[in-house]
Structure 1
Amino acid sequence: MGTLKGFLNPKKVENIKFVVSNRFVDDDGNPLEWELRALSAKESELLQTDCMIKKASSRRGVSSLDLDAALYTKKMMAKCVVKPDLNEIDIQDAYGVSCAEDVLGNMLTSGEYTALSNKLLDVNGFNEIFEDEVKEAKN
């Protein structure tokens, strides 16, 4: 019974704090911490479904769906950022966009965007998977 209980009461995945850039500071000049969260597998699946694009039909008239990885990354990042709240109208207006998914592209430099993306891969457990694959490939 002890094993089943462990599956019924998992440890909560805690949000983490991360300084994306020293450009965003409080009134005292201290870098602002962003709050990031992990997506559940279900949330990720729903995002993937939203990011499918229809691939051109083959000669046999059969079309297929492919994941638009760039769109998925953009939507995933917007969902994982808790603070700042990218859904706030004021922040969207400030960066000249009309949806949360577009804020980060205008708000961050390309290096900051990559740093945030890499951190979110960590938060969601993807980098652990990649590290294991790299170790396997080296052996």
Structure 2
Amino acid sequence: MSKFKAFLKGNVKEVENASLKLDRFEEAIVLRPLSSAEADKINEQCFKTKPGVKGRPERVFNVVKYNREICVASIVHPDLNDTELQESYGVRGADNLYSAMFLLGEATQILEKVTEISGIDLSMDDDIEAAKN
């Protein structure tokens, strides 16, 4: 038996989509977990080169854009790319629809759920607590 059999794609447990019910909407939104590759791609898009010390180019990370983009990428339902839905909010593009559609508190709830189902909500405190037990 292979030492890495448990890591073969066919043997890996799938992470299911999650529903999140927001008070203002009759239906729950559906979120999917993001893969590391998807997060890396979004991460790279969130850097901007700006002039730094002595005019040297400096890469600056936009954490607000990153958080918004991982949320937009994670939403399965409703389809943020749907033209009718975008038109109803008077915007174009999934990221603009996300910003127009959700209140700050709702966006925070979405971000928390996305990080939870994608496995990035674990903090160092959780690791320390687990090690103690």
TM-score greater than 0.5 by the shorter chain:
yes
Q: Does 1:90 align with 2:84?
A: yes
CA RMSD of aligned residues (A): 2.0
Instruction: Report the identity percentage.
Output: 29
d(CA) in 2 for partners of 1:16 and 1:135? 26
SS of 1:87's equivalent in the other structure is coil
TM score, norm. by length of structure 1: 0.82
Q: 2:52 aligns with which of 32, 35, 57?
A: 57
In structure 2, distance between residues paired with 1:130 and 1:102: 33
Task: For 2:57 and 2:38, locate their aligned partners in 1 and report how far apart those are by CA, in whole Å.
Answer: 26
Asked which structure has the greater RCO (Cα within 8 Å, sep 6+), the reply is 2
* Runs of 5+ unmatched residues, structure 1: 26-31
Q: Find the counterpart in structure 2 of residue 47 from structure 1.
A: 42
Match of 2:101 in 1: 107
User: Would you say how many aligned residue pairs link Structure 1 and Structure 2?
Assistant: 128
Instruction: State the partner residue of 1:29.
Output: none
Residue 121 (structure 1) aligns with: 115
Whole-angstrom CA distance in 2 between matches of 1:113 and 1:38: 16
Distance 2:90 2:80 in 1: 12
Contact kept, 8 Å, 2:15 with 2:117, in 1: the verdict is no
Q: Which residue of 1 aligns with 2:15?
A: 13
CA distance in 1 between partners of 2:109 and 2:71 (Å): 11
> Separation in 1 of the partners of 2:122 and 2:48?
28
SS in structure 2 of the partner of residue 114 of structure 1? helix
For structure 2, the residue ranges without an aligned partner over 5 or more in a row are: none
CA distance in 1, matches of 2:33, 2:77: 13
